[in-house]
Amino acid sequence: MPSTDLPDPGGEPSPQGTRGAVFLSYASEDADAARRICATLRAAGIEVWLDQSELRGGDAWDAAIKKQIKACALFLPLISANTRARIEGYFRLEWKLAVDRSHLMAAERAFLLPIVVDGTHESEVLVPDKFREVQWTRAPGGEMAPALVERVSRLLSPAEQPAPAGRHEPARPFASMAPVRGSRRRMWIGIGALAALLVVGAIATYEFAARSSAIGLVAVLPFENTTGDPAIEYLSDGISESLINRLSSVSGLHVISRTSAFAFKGKKMDPTEVGRKLGVDALILGTLAQRGNSVSISAELVRVRDATQLWGERYARTADDMLKVEGEIATTIAQTLRRRLSGDDKVRLSRSETTDPEAYRLYLKGRDFLVGNVPEMDKSIDYFQQAVARAPDFAMAHAGLADAYTVQAFLRASGRAEAAGKARAAVTRALELDPELGEAHTSLGLVRYLFDWDWAGADAEFRRGVLLSPGSEAVHEGYGSFLNAMGRLGEGLAESREAARLDPLSVQPFHDMAINAMIRGNLDEAAAGFRHTLDIDPDWTWGFIKLARTLALQKKCEEAFVQTEIAERRIAGGAGALSRSWLGATYATCGDKVRAREKLAELHALEAKQYVDPTTFAEIHAALGEVAEAVRWYEKGLADRSPNMVYVGVTGRVVPPLRDDLRFKAIVDRMAFPASLR
């Protein structure tokens, strides 16, 4: 039928056991998004059934639609403000037919995959309850991330659908999840060695299972301390963290970061539900118990889709014997799974962060405070300093200290040169201790980027970091932010997407994707991205501030002011200069010059007490259309070597009054950015 992309009503469904087709269901107002999704999936070799004529009627056509919904392998309803606004519509009949069919399927069968194509929040939509029982995803404007296309492809694979009853062995019960942490040196060494052995077994199993079940992404959940003694909780935490770090260092493996995996620590949830929330194919989980000098550990790798245990093992060892039996356990696992690791893999897996559990605990505390305000950054530095004092050869702690000094120098201009110097010294020491530490190369990249303005040198270090630590969310995140500032937006978006895939419950990579969308001028996508950060963390004040600025640029000022009011209540006059600047620019963009000038006054009052970055004044003046005054402040930022000046190359794309101003362009030229920004 030429007027539609649906197969002929007389066409037969795909034969059983072959790759099936996708049915796209959408409101007519979302036709453009549907066509983009259709084109992307077809480019990936996926068959798509798309009705492009909602007005076409008749019994024969209705019968054709019903037949295709009955025959399709995957049903993709597109959700938006348009579907919410329409109480009636043919798409709602399609949804009902799909839900009815899903009730006839096994619970494990993947069939419904709702996709939100704008900034609509799940709590706002009018959809069948069945839709809320499955994992949703987003494709703003119909732009599908590569990971989403890959996911659709996996779901269409016959190997990904559950086997008939009786075709596999029953899964062993999951280990439950409970809180964990602690300290004892000798046991820590043994647990670190055993973690390496478990990694070898898990990697081997991963490779074996991936060939048969298309496992592409795994998460290591916190091991349960079944002893119940808080004094040894560091053992269970430690083994999980070590597994994450070691697995992430192996090329070809993709592992969810600690931040997202440990978000479920202590929560009584079905691990398969956790797996679906994380979007992973498999989970590594287990238990640990200590009796005197004996340690008992169980570990298992479980496929999320059908709760099948792909591998499991129990270990009973003493602290004294653990290192001696390392070779025995590694050999047994390798022989059982018939897997040989490369030499580089073995080197990376044998590397231990530190043998001092207290130093590692302090390092983790430092990381916890690494993203925050100035007082929190001071705490971060203190924890890292304690960690390197206890373990001077702990390379990751030196790299963390470098990151903390870098952020401190970014936030606080007084003493900036001193803090930047300390950051260089710390990262240099980290690389002396471990030249193959990807995170340290990323730390050096940040120093060269923010303070040295050595664009080529920064790019080289970031790329080295990605090469050495491809499974590190922080490495991809740092490189993505740099690429955005350099105007390499396609590459930046790809890095941020990978960071989000590895850390789906962290706001930062989604924030970076939203900033990328702002620079590209896709404000709908940017707004949806900032809303998603608030879905992840409703207490993240910057999410409200940046969403407000985006809405202001869309001329949705009433909505923007709702967000600024929330932000103002949260900061209650205690905001830093940068947040005041963003709020002032939002007011100015919406024509509220009174409140915009109030923010300028607040910045000047703050300037009387401390150094205030000149770019914060420039942003508000530019939004007010006072270009000459904005340029004057940017000139001062250039003279002060403000780290915020690294963004001026893309600022003109977001702030219209600056876009064509020759004086501003001259400042950009003096920054000597690479060709991508010229």
Asked if pLDDT for residue 636 goes beyond 60, the answer is yes
pLDDT at residue 14 is higher than 50: no
Assess contact for 32 and 143: CB atoms under 8 A. no
Spatial distance between the Cα atoms of 627 and 634, rounded to a whole number of angstroms: 10
Q: Which residue has the higher pLDDT, 340 or 399?
A: 399
Give yes or no for residue 13 having a pLDDT over 90: no
Q: Which phi and psi angles does 189 have, rounded to 5°?
A: -60, -45
Closest CA to 221 of 142, 330, 300: 300
| Average pLDDT of the residues in 449-455 | 94
CA 23 to mean position of chain CA atoms = 28
User: Taking 50 as the threshold, does the pLDDT of residue 515 lie above it?
Assistant: yes
Average pLDDT over the chain reads: 80
Residue 622 confidence (pLDDT) above 90: yes
Task: Give the CA count within 13 Å in the CB-facing half-sphere of 63.
Answer: 7
575 near 616, Cβ under 8 Å? no
Give mean pLDDT, residues 155-159: 72
For the chain, give every domain's residue range.
22-160, 185-352, 355-470
Beta strands 137-138 and 115-116 are parallel
The stretches of 412-506 forming alpha helices (DSSP H) are 416-433, 438-447, 455-468, 473-485, 489-502
Triad 521, 452, 651: Cα angle to 5°: 15
pLDDT tens for each residue of 186-229: 444 455 555 555 555 555 554 544 443 455 678 888 888 888 77
Among 361, 374, 436, smallest CA distance to 405 is for 374
Q: How far is 99 from 93, CA to CA, in rounded Å?
A: 10
d(CA 351, CA 359): 16
pLDDT for 24 beyond 80: yes
How far apart, in Å, are the Cα atoms of 380 and each of 171, 346, 582? 42, 32, 26
- pLDDT, residue 304, reads 84
Nearby residues of 398 by Cβ (< 8 Å), 6 or more positions away: 388, 426, 427, 429, 430, 433, 440
**Phi/psi at 660 (nearest 5 deg)?**
-110, 10
22-160: which CATH architecture?
3-Layer(aba) Sandwich (3.40)
Q: β-pairing, 309-318 with 294-303? A: antiparallel
* pLDDT tier, 461 (very low <50, low <70, confident <90, very high otherwise): very high
Domains 22-160 and 185-352 fall in the same CATH topology: yes
pLDDT at 173: 30
Under 8 Å between Cβ of 153 and 562? no
Average pLDDT value for residue range 601-625: 93
Q: How many residues does the chain have?
A: 678
Q: Residues 140-163: what's their mean pLDDT?
A: 74
pLDDT greater at residue 248 or residue 258:
258
Do 287 and 224 contact (CB within 8 A), yes or no?
Answer: yes
The class (CATH top level) of 185-352 is alpha beta
Region 75-95: what's the mean pLDDT?
A: 89
Q: Which of 97-106, 253-262, 430-439, 651-660 has the lowest mean pLDDT?
A: 253-262
What is the per-residue pLDDT for 222?
86
Superfamily (CATH H level) for 355-470: Tetratricopeptide repeat domain (1.25.40.10)
Q: pTM, whole model, 2 decimals?
A: 0.64
Stretch 500-523: mean pLDDT: 94
pLDDT over 90 at 627, yes or no? yes
pLDDT at 128 over 60: yes
Distance CA 104, CA 171 (A): 23
Q: CA distances (Å), 416 to each of 50, 287, 454, 646, 648, in order?
A: 57, 46, 17, 16, 20
* Both structure tokens of 539: 């207490």
Q: Write the secondary structure of 135-200 as one string of H (helix), E (strand) and C (coil).
A: CCEECHHHCCCHHHHHHHHHHHCHHHCCCCCCCCCCCCCCCCCCCCCECCHHHHHHHHHHHHHHHH
